[in-house]
Chain A
Amino acid sequence: MYRYDEFDHTFVTQRVEQFREQVARRISGELSEDEFKPLRLMNGLYLQLHAYMLRVAVPYGTLSARQLRQLAYIARRYDRGYGHFTTRQNIQFNWPTLSDTPDILADLAAVEMHAIQTSGNCIRNTTADATAGVAADEVADSRIYCEIIRQWSTLHPEFSFLPRKFKIAVTGSGRDRAVTAAHDIGLRMQRDADGNPGFEVLVGGGQGRTPVLAAKIRDFLPEGDLLSYLEAILRVYNQLGRRDNIYKARIKILVRETGAAEFARLVEAEWAHIRNGELRLPADELERIRGYFAPPLYQALDDACPELAAQRAGNRGFDAWVQSNVEAHKRPGYAIATISLKPHGGIPGDASAEQMEVVAGLADRYGFGEIRVTYKQNLLLPDLRKGDLFAVWKALGETGLATANSHRLSDIIACPGLDYCNLANARSIPIAQVISARFADLEREREIGNVTVNISGCINACAHHHVANIGILGVDKKGKEFYQVTLGGAADENAAIGDIVGPAFDEDRIAGAVETVVDVYLAERRGADEAFIDTYRRIGLKPFKEKLYAAH
């Protein structure tokens, strides 16, 4: 993993002390809320419905066991014993006090973490492929480039006051595991004809009230040109992006109104001025950063693991978990395991301090001390020996973390919604709980196969409902919560924005509506190999709509 250098350490520590002073001035009355609010937001401190909320950056979703233990400590010491993992691969604490926040930030700094740029109109934490560096199918390890982007974008003086917030995503393989098409910039790793790594560049994707899929503006960008090209995109946006209307300020609006071809031309023109300047990545610097992500000391193992086969044969629960939660690793005899934070009927993305400590312990004992946060609000152990999977599964089960539902219907993404969030119009979590409880039967989930269900509590779409196979958007109608359903969205390499089925359902009928959608799929699919999204693309909205509104 990347370790902070001296600059990072000094800077983060100074920033904590600066914020400590600002908090003291706020409490003494020297600073008004209007003066203080931008300062607290720059340090990740929001004010939500019931309390402050601290959003802590988990750079490209990568955590060490030591860091996860510190997050558990913070949850217990300063909060209410839990944290909430987000679709931005960050963690949020829901109950910190203002006066404790400087101490929390100091405790984070002690393990090389902070909350800088988790709010505001700046470049946010890069969304990453949670299996970077270990996925069997990856082109290259995208963490190296995520780290380079982190260093470049942290406190970038020119891009600290953009027209609006800015999110970059990097995926390391042809399978898009970072929702790149729904980001301001999406980078998909490729190799050129000579085998050199680089990126397909997409720009102008986003969700919110105006969902737009990103447009490709470059087929191949060599790795050495990464920062100069990103800088050129940001410069064009910073100059031309709208600042007069918050709803039209994201780069997606600029790209759409300018046209992708013209936007690309503007970027190329800007790039021509800077591409051979100081932002060109020197090969030795790339190598230095690559060194931080050197593979751990893997053992030479056979890929076949008779022990695992016997354990699967002897335990149906374990077999189901391996089938849904374990993925292929690039090294023989190793595997990647997703730890579901989606217990049936539970709160998506929440983990207690005890659970965090158990995961940290398992990472230390079996997985080189490394943990990833996925954009689906789960955790992931990237480096497990196949022969250790059974022991890991058993230990996870003892703390309620062994749900075998990764990629299944109950692996629901849900934003905090009206239970916590100041912006929400409706609750998300209770709807996720009711739906996931309805689909708690593992055999039934396996039968249904992979499908994404995402629930947002407002049009800001933090839970990515637009790109879910089954998307649910909470709306407020005269003080009552209603839920609008979209179908056919996709967040992978074949990204799509879902189609609205029709009038919204009230909170008592929304879970039944999801069940109806699933029933139509099961009746219409051409065998178990046809995934929900493929059936939808073949038969379209109509059969679902007819069934959903048949009684009306």
Chain B
Amino acid sequence: MPSTAITANRLLDGAVIYLTADGGWSERLADAAIADGKDAETDLLAAAETQARAGTVIGPYAFKVEVEAGTPIPLGRREAIRTLGPSVRTDLGTQTATH
């Protein structure tokens, strides 16, 4: 099974965020906690859903990533676009911080 990470949208501004290993959230996929099996994914998702119930994040879910040299790369176009921002406006979204 491929590795997974947990993503959600932040309540206050809807920004794309990733669950980190210490149970916090980051706007950078590079900071995300990576689950290498179903059990690890279930644990991470449970932690994220607790925070969703507390009201700080919206709609957490797991998605597939490929880890290359320690850096998670999202699989599939949808998550790639969420990670960066609109492909037609490279001046907007997270991609502006990574350039």
Given A49-B82, A427-B87, A430-B87: A481 and B14 interface contact (C-beta under 8 Å): no
* Least CB distance, B9 to chain A, in whole angstroms: 6
Residue of A nearest to B15 (CB): A51
Question: Is the pair A50, B86 in contact by a Cβ cutoff of 8 Å?
Answer: yes
Question: Is the pair B55, A26 in contact by a Cβ cutoff of 8 Å?
Answer: yes
Given A27-B11, A419-B87, A433-B88: A49 and B55 interface contact (C-beta under 8 Å): no
Q: For window 18-32 of chain B, which residues contact chain A by CB distance below 8 Å? A: none
Considering only CB atoms and an 8 Å cut-off, how many residues of chain A contact the other chain? 30
Contact digits for B1-42, partner A, Cβ 8 Å, 1 yes 0 no: 000000001011111100000000000000000000000000
Q: Does B46 contact A (CB under 8 A)?
A: no
Stretch at the interface among A60-68, A91-99, A390-398: A91-99
Which residues of chain B are within 8 angstroms of A80 by Cβ–Cβ distance?
A: 92
Which residues of chain B are within 8 angstroms of A433 by Cβ–Cβ distance?
A: 88
Q: Does B67 contact A (CB under 8 A)?
A: no
Contact digits for A35-58, partner B, Cβ 8 Å, 1 yes 0 no: 000000000000111111000000
Neighbour of A418 across the interface among B58, B81, B93, CB < 8 A: B81
Question: Is the pair A480, B52 in contact by a Cβ cutoff of 8 Å?
Answer: no
Which residues of chain A are within 8 angstroms of B86 by Cβ–Cβ distance?
A: 50, 419-420, 429
Question: Is the pair A479, B75 in contact by a Cβ cutoff of 8 Å?
Answer: yes
Neighbour of A49 across the interface among B16, B75, B76, CB < 8 A: B16
Residue of A nearest to B92 (CB): A80
Which residues of chain B are within 8 angstroms of A429 by Cβ–Cβ distance?
A: 86, 88
Interface of B is mostly: loop
Contact digits for A439-481, partner B, Cβ 8 Å, 1 yes 0 no: 0000000000000000000000000000000000000100111
Which residues of chain B are within 8 angstroms of A49 by Cβ–Cβ distance?
A: 16, 78, 81-82
Which residues of chain B are within 8 angstroms of A427 by Cβ–Cβ distance?
A: 77, 81, 87-88
Q: Does A302 contact B (CB under 8 A)?
A: no
Question: Is the pair A97, B14 in contact by a Cβ cutoff of 8 Å?
Answer: yes
* Least CB distance, A417 to chain B, in whole angstroms: 9
Question: Is the pair A51, B13 in contact by a Cβ cutoff of 8 Å?
Answer: yes
Q: Does B53 contact A (CB under 8 A)?
A: yes
Question: Is the pair B13, A33 in contact by a Cβ cutoff of 8 Å?
Answer: no
Which residues of chain A are within 8 angstroms of B59 by Cβ–Cβ distance?
A: 33, 47
Name 29 interchain pairs, CB-CB below 8 A, sorted by A: A26-B11, A31-B55, A32-B55, A33-B11, A33-B55, A47-B58, A49-B78, A49-B82, A50-B14, A50-B86, A50-B93, A51-B13, A51-B14, A51-B15, A52-B14, A97-B12, A99-B12, A418-B77, A419-B81, A419-B86, A427-B77, A427-B87, A429-B86, A429-B88, A430-B88, A433-B88, A479-B75, A480-B77, A481-B77
